[in-house]
Structures are given as C-alpha cells and as structure tokens.
Amino acid sequence: MRLYGREWTRRQLEAHVGRVEQIGGIRRFTGVEGREQGLEFIEIRTGAGLAYTITPTKGLDFSLAEFGGTPISWQAAGGDVHPMYYEPEGTGWLRSASGGLMMTCGLTHVGTPSAYEGKSYGMHGRAHHLPARQVAAEGRWNGDEYEMVIRGIVEETAMFGGHLRLHREIRSWLGENRITVTDIVENAGFEPLPHMLLYHFNFGYPLMTPDTRMQFPPAAIVPRDAGAAPVGLKGMGREGQIVPERVEGMKGLGGPEGLEGPDGLEGAECLNELESLAGLYGLDESGRVEELKRQKAVDGLSVLNQWQLPEPGCAEAVYYHELLDRDTAEVKLHQPFFPQAGGRSVPLTVSLRWSSQTLPYLVQWKMPGAGMHVLGIEPANCRVEGIAKEAEEGRLVILQPGQTVDYSWELNID
C-alpha cells in the first residue's frame, strides 16, 4: 500500500505500530446523551486524511465526513437524532434527518409528502430512520492492502404493505481517500411494489465557499420550481430543458459547434462565462475556448456551479439534471483553499461517481441560507415531488416480486 508518501508491505507497516488501528481502521461506539442516546456509530479512518462515520441505527447512512480533521459534509441542526424521535407523517422527516455525508431516501417514497392508491407517504420515506440488522464491521489484510468493510441489511416492511430489502456494503482502504458503496434493493414480497430511491449527499463549509467550483455531467436541466433561475443555452425547450444534442456536442469531444446564446441576451453576464461553461460541462481548455468566450450564457447558468456566502432568508433552489450518459456520471467539487492544521490550506477535489444505469437523475439542491448553507448532490431513480406525481408522469419504478436492482457509487478525495 501507499501511505505517508511511500510504499509499504504489510510486515513493514506492522513493524512500526502496536496495532494497525494506530494509523487507521474501524471503531464502534454509542451516543450517550440528548437525542443521540442509544444511537450506534461506526467510525472509519483511512490514515490518508479521510475519516467518516456510519450510523447503523439510521439505515447504515453516513454522518460526519472529514479530510485531515476538517469537515467536507454538512450537519443538520438536530445532529444525529435517534430514529425513536422520527415523525413519519408529513414533513416530520425534517425534525430528525441528520444531514451528514449521505442520507438514504426511499425505499418506497422520495420527496414531498404524497398520497397514492389510498396510502399517505411522508417526506423522503423511511429508509434514513430504519435500523440496520446483521451489521458486520471488519478490517482485514488482503496481501499488502488493508481493507475496511461494513455490511448490513435495511428492511422497509408492513403487514399487507409490502417488503423491500436493502443489502448495503461499504468499503474503504488504508492509505486511500476513497469510499465505495454497493446496494442491492430486493422486493422480498409477493406483490409488485413501487420503489423510489435517492442518495442525499450533503456538502458544507469549508468545502463550500465562493471559491468552490462545481463540475456536472452532461444533462438536460429543468428547474423544479417556476421561480428558479433559468438554465441552459439556445435550443432550450419551453420548460427550460437543454436540447440533448447541444449538450452532447459540448463535452470536449465535438467542440462548441451550434452553441449560441439566447436571442436578446447580448453580453449576458456570468461570474466567469468561460469557467461556467467549461467547468459545468467538462470542456477542454483547448483552442475551442476562444470561441466559447464569444458565446452567450443564460443568466442562470452560473448559478448552477457557483456558491455564495450565507444569506439570511435565502430560499432553496432545486434543479433536475436528466443525465445523458446512461453508464456513469460524475460530479466534482473543487475547493482551491481547503483549510488544514497549522493555518495552511490545500487544493481539494471531492469526486462523486455513480452508475447512471439505475440512477438516471441528479437532483441538485442549493440551500445557501444562513444557518443551513448546504449543497445537496442527489443521484436518484426519480424526482422529488412525491410518488403520486412520479406515477402520473410515468417515471415510477415498480419492482416485481423477487426482482432486484443494483446501485453503486464511489467517492474520492484528491
């Protein structure tokens, strides 16, 4: 393995320590006060800077995540609330959602409260508040690599109401700033069941500042709310949707042919037009850049990949990115001045990659309000306006009895 700037064999590293957990590994503990009392935690340290905490009592979800002792994730004001305080009706989810690096939303319902086929569904479903069972946490050597693995099962069940089962496996490695997650969702019942799933990643200060730049995969982008900032380029549909052919030609492959500013937006301003276009769509900074400089961006384009200081009374904004690449998608967050010990800062890039075969949507939640100040990056198999609307618009996934679906994602820090 590579650690501290050099290569090590297992025996070389073991000769320098009493036990490997001196450098990194797995530790389990339980909350003892307030609404955290009784909540189980599993802490994983990679020894390379990345450390994060899993909460088996809350769906094997991710709480605080740090690099070099500095947080990259966002924490809700309530903290890691035990699921005994969960209020499933309406928007009660907001009272006990932990924030943290990732909350699982689903497994049946995602988004705003909804009524469907005679049943009521609370905000974002039950998965984040379901305790896992058969939880195993193991650190083990595989040759000269030390691997840390967390496994468990989360079930959403009701008599006469279906049975969805989530198998989750989380992996990290000593010396690597990397997390991989593999999920398998199974309809363990005997009737077809609706299945909505969203991975609610939450990134906050000091990863997110006005210096932060975000890069998104090619997508057709639609604001959830009519009042949200417009996005896109010429060729937008009536609902603000970017014409896919335009976007595909922008990914640094075919050049910016046909890329034009909207009519009547002479000199439309972005914080940096070139950075917004090239950063948002992963364009090469090659000779084509000069032509891009002459193109006009819609005023709202820079809103998508820029961040701001906290602002009291600021409203949330939600954007749907319908991914064009149905294989793999990736979002990158780059902070050029990420603080570290001793008053120094380092450039840091957090990359989130997932399989878009089963997670074809990216929901972007921007909430820069004071006291919140969080960016949500949310790969999903649905939108966030509730199960009834998903069914009405033909997007609702139905799992047949015994059917399974695989999900995977990976987070890297460079």
Residues 236, 131 share a domain: no
Same domain, 199 and 261: no
Nearest-CA neighbor of 299 among 274, 265, 331, 323? Answer: 265
Of the residues 267, 282, 305, the one at which a domain ends? 305
Regarding whether 169 and 70 lie in a shared domain, the answer is yes
Residue type, 281: Y
- Tell me whether residue 341 is in a domain: yes
Domain with 245, as residue range(s), is 230-305
Residue 223 lies in a domain: no
Asked whether residue 157 falls in the same domain as residue 276, the answer is no
**Residues 35 and 140 reside in one and the same domain:** yes
Asked whether residue 361 is domain-assigned, the answer is yes
Is 35 part of a structural domain of the chain?
yes
Of 305, 329, 360, the position where a domain reaches its end is 305
Looking up residue 321, the CATH number of its domain turns out to be 2.70.98.10
Q: What is the pLDDT of residue 227?
A: 52
Tell me, yes or no, whether 219 lies in a domain.
Answer: no
Q: Is 59 left (phi over 0), alpha (psi -120 to 50) or beta?
A: left
Q: What span, in angstroms and rounded, lies between the C-alpha atoms of 122 and 119?
A: 10
Q: Compute the distance between CA of residue 65 and CA of residue 73 in angstroms, rounded to an integer.
A: 5
Angle 364-393-116 (CA atoms, 0-180°, nearest 5)?
95
Same domain (yes/no): 134, 63: yes
Total number of domains in the chain: 2
Asked if 133 and 238 sit in the same domain, the reply is: no
Last residue of a domain, one of 259, 283, 305: 305
Residue 229 DSSP code: P
Q: Is the same domain home to 154 and 103?
A: yes
CA distance 253 to 179: 30
Question: Is 333 within 8 Å of 349 (Cβ atoms)?
Answer: yes
Q: What's the rounded Cα separation, in Å, for the pair 194 and 110?
A: 11
Shared-domain flag, residues 166 and 124: yes
Say yes or no: 311 and 293 in one domain: no
Sign of the torsion formed by the C-alpha atoms of 81, 59, 25 and 345: negative
Q: Same domain for 290 and 332?
A: no
Domain-located, residue 80: yes
Q: Is residue 218 part of a domain?
A: no
Print pLDDT tens along the chain (414 aa).
999 999 999 999 999 999 999 999 999 999 999 999 999 999 999 999 999 999 999 999 999 999 999 999 999 999 999 999 999 999 999 999 999 999 999 999 999 999 999 999 999 999 999 999 999 999 999 999 999 999 999 999 999 989 999 999 999 999 999 999 999 999 999 999 999 999 999 999 999 999 999 999 999 998 998 655 444 332 222 233 333 333 332 332 222 333 233 333 233 233 333 344 444 444 444 444 343 333 322 334 456 888 999 999 988 999 999 999 889 999 999 999 999 999 999 999 999 999 999 999 999 999 999 999 999 999 999 999 999 999 999 999 999 999 999 999 999 999
